[in-house]
Amino acid sequence: MLRNKHILIGITGGIAAYKICTLIRDFKKSGADVKVICSPNALNFVTKLTLQNLSQNEVYEGEFTPRNWKPEHISLADWADIMLIAPATANTIGKIAQGIADNLLTSVACAFSKKMIIAPAMNVNMWQNESVQNNIKILEARGVDFLPPERGFLACGYSGKGRLCSLAKIYNAVNEALNYSDILKGKKVVITAGGTIEEIDPVRYISNYSSGKMGFALAKSAYYMGAEVVLITTKAFEAPFKIVKVKSALDMQEAVNSEFDTSDYVIMAAAVADYRVKERSEQKMKKENNDKLTLKLVKNPDILAELCKHKRAPHPDPLPKGARENDCVIVGFCAESENLLENAKAKIEKKGCDYLVANDISRKDIGFGVDENEVTILDKNGNTTKLEKASKVRIARKIWERIIN
């Protein structure tokens, strides 16, 4: 799957540098051409000869030798299809975030305009440092993908989050990024994500366990495929596409409606609360002398069903400026704890959407709050496609493939 792909790997000065030797070998086995750049301290942890033999290419350090009439950092940036930095130290992450180009690796990163993936590894306290996290947010907003470190025993003697994530996770992330097409170029995609929040008073609210991860993965996949993406979400995400932050179901409905008429695809992946409090208290409700509390709830609008009705309704002539005859593809999500297919078939018929993605939330290894999922896609003609358990990034890509094809 990686045949003839050009992978540029940046290795920084961390103990996990030795692990990248295995990763280089795996990339080469898959047919990729691999080149390695080392930061000044990286070669304290792994030898240049080892990296040269595994990559079957020269290993680049600090020389700025002109190649093909281009400075070295430009020629390497132009050559690569993707840049992976692993392990990435706090120091290198900070330099790239702030545009500091004081060695070959950071110079290439500064000049790199294609897909970049960073896999950090460091002491747990360094990882939790506010400055490090802020630098990561800066880079995520520019479209850089981060593969967070994992928990475990660290070389420094500490135990916690800081060790390099698994090589399989890094390999899969690179593979996914390199095999996207621009099939959604020129299309506008609107995606909702996260659980809505329905306030009871200034302190309390009704919500659900949705993390927004599936919706965010769908948005990133669409962005990689060239789409103009609008993510309407209740969660805080950093991304290189438009994000509209909302809170309640009514907020979300208003945001979706404002984008709908100019959209080619709408995916309602958010977990919208079915009910809201009829009368929100302006002051915190006191519990003194109240052994019971009764809340009067009213139904929230069914955003998905309303969108489907709007799509089928006749449009005015002439259409509003920027709008078009609505051939938008509408995709719904449903979360079920029992009778998954039966409930999903009833829902797609009732809602009237083009596709419905069904999640089984009775399992703890998929669905809410985790990084993997397993879903069944139903279409309006009664066909079903089951996607076996995989990362939400992979599931998102397969959902798009099913919808587009």
**Helix (H), strand (E) counts: the chain:** 13, 20
DSSP designation for 64: -
1 domain residue, yes or no = no
Where residue 77 sits, what CATH number does that domain have? 3.40.50.1950
Let me know whether 168 and 289 are in one domain.
no
Let me know whether 216 and 344 are in one domain.
yes
Predicted confidence band at 314 (pLDDT cuts at 50, 70, 90)? low
145 domain residue, yes or no = yes
168 domain residue, yes or no = yes
Please spell the DSSP secondary structure of 387-401, one letter per residue: EEEEEHHHHHHHHHH
Could you report the per-residue pLDDT of 262-289, keeping only the tens digit for each?
999 999 999 999 999 999 999 988 887 6
- The domain boundary, picked from 122, 156, 178, lies at 178
Q: Say how many residues make up the chain.
A: 405
Q: Which pLDDT score is estimated for 214?
A: 94
Q: What's the structural domain count of the chain?
A: 2
Let me know whether 70 and 201 are in one domain.
no
Let me know whether 119 and 31 are in one domain.
yes
Let me know whether 259 and 387 are in one domain.
yes
Let me know whether 238 and 150 are in one domain.
no
Q: Which pLDDT score is estimated for 293?
A: 83
Cβ proximity of 376 and 345 under 8 Å: no
- Three-class SS of residue 299? strand
Could you report the per-residue pLDDT of 94-139, keeping only the tens digit for each?
999 999 999 999 999 999 988 999 999 999 999 999 999 999 999 9
183 domain residue, yes or no = no
Q: Which domain holds residue 370?
A: 188-404
- The domain boundary, picked from 144, 178, 212, lies at 178
Let me know whether 114 and 202 are in one domain.
no
Catalytic residue annotation: 156
CA quadruple 275, 281, 285, 291: dihedral positive or negative? negative
CA–CA dist 397, 184 (Å, integer): 12
- Three-class SS of residue 84? strand
Average pLDDT of span 339-361: 94
How many other C-beta atoms can be found within 10 angstroms of the C-beta atom of residue 13? 17
264 domain residue, yes or no = yes
Could you report the per-residue pLDDT of 205-233, keeping only the tens digit for each?
999 999 999 999 999 999 989 999 999 99
Cβ proximity of 269 and 215 under 8 Å: yes
